[in-house]
Chains A and B, each alone.
Chain A
Amino acid sequence: MKGWIAFWNIILKDMRAYYLKPPNISWGLIFPLAWTGMFFIKSGSGLESVRGLLPGVMAISVLFGTTSMLAVTVTFEKKARSFERLLLAPIPLGLLMLAKTAGAILFGTINAFVPVVMAVFLVDLSGVSWTVLLPAVVLIAISSTFLGLFIAVSVSEVFEAQTFSNFFRFPMIFLCGLFFPIAQLPAWLRPLSYALPLTYGADALHEATARAGRLPLSLDVVVLAVFCLALFLVSLRNIKRKWIV
């Protein structure tokens, strides 16, 4: 019970201190809006293209929303030594890190639905499988957040976290099949695509929005879950190894 009081209050504190700050809220709205607008104009194929663009824009919103926030909530706190306060709390490290990442998962999930809300006013979304879309978005948010955690724990400065994040984010966007089908990528790049968690998230999103998934949905879910677990465990190990020296 005591551990859960701590868990819940860490989430609430992060919400108040970081996620509900006006710059982050506006960033959470403007970023998906800008991407949607950019791809919509670029496609030049009218409103019917919105539904096809939705998985890509949602995934980008989640990816950038989560990984950027972790650089602040973890790397910044580590640098300012306030993270030590959390390490001194009598709660297991795993629970502590789940609390630190839960806010980003929620933030990323909400970010993903900003383009969906906008799309509702432009196109008919009645064919979307919401029961697939929501779990897919949540799984993408969790895997992206844990990727952000892995990056945040690997560096010591906030700017390093942002730079290192881009090293993962941009290749992922172009290799995961969101905007270019994996089949059209050069053969030597395809194995790399399948080594990225977002590939499976994007596939699940394509399945949810247009029944256009290329892999079995169960495979997408299992692989994403494995990525989540692996990234979280590696991050925990790195915290113990690098921060409790």
Chain B
Amino acid sequence: MIVEVRDLRKRFGDVQALAGVDFDVAPGELFGLLGPNGAGKTTTINLLTGLARLGGGAVRIAGIDCTRSPKAAQHLIGVVPDESNLYPELSGFDNLCFCGALYGMPAQERRVRAGELMEIFGLSDAAGRKFAGYSKGMKRKLTIAAGIIQRPRILFLDEPTTGIDVASARRIRQMVADLRRSGTTILLTTHYIEEAERLCDRIAFLVAGRIVRTDTVANLMQPVQGRHVMQLRVSGSPATACGRLESMFPQMQFHALDEKRIRTESCEPIRAGLLVRFLEEQDIEVIEARLVRPTLEDIFVQVTGIEAAAMQKEKEKPGGPA
């Protein structure tokens, strides 16, 4: 394992930010830490990269014990923080060169590499412009480029697509996938469930400073494989409708998602016509009926108990998967 984390603990005053987190990341793996805001994702990254002091537990990176000397493995890692924190006064190109210099790259090598990255990230035209004048998406791309200029063996990506437009977020996800294919080990934190599902080999659900489940995406999705899900939007009370549907169709599960929507699950294909006809006989108008592909979100909600609506709210912020 290239990253080994055991019983990681951290407390800020009265708040127990991490309460015994354990996980491993294999070489070349894209490992995701998925959780809502405040779950402890950034704290985990800060502890692993030496930006914060361990409150307890042990960390090994590429075989180096970082428990007592957090800077010991910094030459092997790249970090993309959750905020674009490059230097506003420097141009995009100079920012990359400076970041390369921080890792001891010789001048010629870092200039070539910076030019290469500006090209890859589609920022060549803005290479000479000051970072302060970049758009949010451009800033994010350059921050990722700065994190990989020294070709790190392990990349820590903290919320790479938060707060940026959909097109830029999509491009960044593509870049992350390319990096993974090139053999870089990546530890990604996100609160976008679909992002984690699309990108990660394995995912850990982090809630309130604890990992509640870690597995491959395929294994996590196992319980919903072969399940059929339909969402109905009704005019009346979904709770009343659910009650009536349950008595009529006992082989299916129904529950109200909000004031308008009902979620229907079954092992058998769901015949929409049957449900619609039944509800209309009950004087409940069905405005919309659509089949839904079971997603990791269903598992996340099941395992963590965090309401789908709460995660949806996060997802609706700019940058959420499209």
| Neighbour of A87 across the interface among B51, B98, B105, B146, CB < 8 A | B51
Give min CB distance, A199 to chain B, whole Å: 37
- How far is A18 from B85 in the complex, measured between Cα atoms in Å? 17
Q: Are A2 and B85 in contact (CB under 8 A)?
A: no
Taking CB atoms, residues of chain A closer than 8 Å to B98 are 9, 13
Residues of A within 8 A of B146 (CB): 85
B289 on the interface (CB 8 Å rule)? no
Task: Please state if A91 and B90 are interface contacts (CB–CB under 8 Å).
Answer: no
> Is B176 an interface residue, CB under 8 A from the partner?
no
A88 at interface, CB cutoff 8 A: yes
A1 interfacial contact with B, CB 8 Å: yes
Q: How far is the CA of A1 from the CA of B87 in the complex (A)?
A: 24
- Whether A16 contacts B89 by the Cβ 8 Å rule is yes
A187 at the interface (CB under 8 A from B): no
Contact A9 B102 (CB under 8 A): yes
Q: Is the beta-carbon distance between A85 and B101 smaller than 8 angstroms?
A: no
Are A89 and B74 touching (Cβ within 8 A)? yes
By the criterion CB–CB under 8 Å, are A2 and B99 in contact? no
Question: Is A80 in the interface zone, CB < 8 Å from B?
Answer: yes
CB-defined contacts of B255 to chain A, threshold 8 Å: none
| Interface residues of chain B: helix, strand, loop or mixed (majority) | loop
Report yes or no: A17 in contact with B102, Cβ–Cβ below 8 A: no
Residues on the A chain within 8 Å of B293, using CB? none
Which of B74, B81, B104 has its CB near the most chain A CB atoms (within 10 A)? B104
Q: Could you tell me which residues of chain B, from 76 to 99, have a CB within 8 Å of some CB in chain A?
A: 77, 79, 81, 83, 85-90, 94, 98-99
Q: Does A42 contact B (CB under 8 A)?
A: no
Determine if A124 is an interface residue (Cβ-Cβ < 8 Å).
Answer: no
> Residue of B at shortest CB range from A80?
B85
Contact indicator B81/A84 (Cβ below 8 Å) = yes
Given contacts A84-B81, A244-B50, contact A2 B104 (CB under 8 A): yes
Shortest Cβ gap from B32 to chain A (Å): 21
Q: Are A2 and B53 in contact (CB under 8 A)?
A: no
Name A65-121 residues within 8 Å CB distance of B.
Answer: 80-82, 84-93
Contact B102 A244 (CB under 8 A): no
Q: A5-B101, A6-B103 are in contact. Are A17 and B50 (CB under 8 A)?
A: no
Decide if B87 touches A90 in the complex (CB within 8 Å). Answer: no
A9 to B146, CA, bound (A): 15
| Shortest distance between the CB of B99 and any CB in chain A (Å) | 7
B87 touches A13 (CB 8 A): yes
Q: How far, in Å, is A69 (CB) from chain B's closest CB?
A: 14
Chain A interface size, as a band, is 20 to 34
Check if B52 is an interface residue, CB within 8 A of chain A. yes
Q: Tell me the complex Cα distance, A5–B81, Å.
A: 23
CA distance A107 to B200 in the complex (A): 49
Please count how many residues in chain B sit with their CB below 8 Å of the partner chain's CB atoms. 30
Closest B residue to A87 by beta carbon equals B51
Interfacial chain A residues near B53, Cβ < 8 Å: 244-245
- Name B87's contact: one of A5, A8, A82, A89 (CB within 8 Å): A82
Q: Tell whether B244 is near chain A: CB-to-CB under 8 Å.
A: no
Q: A82 near B85 (CB under 8 angstroms)? A: yes
Q: Determine whether the beta carbon of B99 is less than 8 Å from that of A85.
A: yes
Q: How far is the CA of A10 from the CA of B89 in the complex (A)?
A: 14
Q: Contacts A6-B103, A6-B104, A90-B103 given; indicate if A85 touches B51 (C-beta within 8 A).
A: no
| A88 contacts B85, C-beta separation under 8 Å | no
Are B50 and A88 in contact, CB atoms less than 8 angstroms apart? Answer: yes
Which among A5, A16, A18, A90 is the interface contact of B75 at CB below 8 angstroms?
Answer: A90
Asked if B305 CB lies within 8 Å of chain A CBs, one says no
Q: With A and B bound together, what is the CA distance between A93 and B98 in angstroms?
A: 18
A3 contacts the other chain (CB 8 A): yes
| Interface presence of B264 (CB below 8 A) | no
B51–A84 touching, CB < 8 Å: yes
A residues lining the B interface (CB < 8 Å): 1-3, 5-6, 8-10, 13, 16-18, 80-82, 84-93, 244-245
Knowing that A82-B87, A85-B99 touch, tell me 5 more A-B residue pairs with CB under 8 angstroms: A2-B103, A5-B104, A85-B146, A88-B74, A90-B104
Report 20 cross-chain contacts, Cβ distance below 8 Å, ordered by A residue.
A2-B103, A2-B104, A3-B104, A5-B104, A6-B102, A9-B98, A10-B102, A13-B87, A16-B89, A17-B87, A17-B89, A80-B85, A81-B83, A85-B85, A85-B86, A88-B49, A89-B74, A90-B74, A90-B103, A93-B71
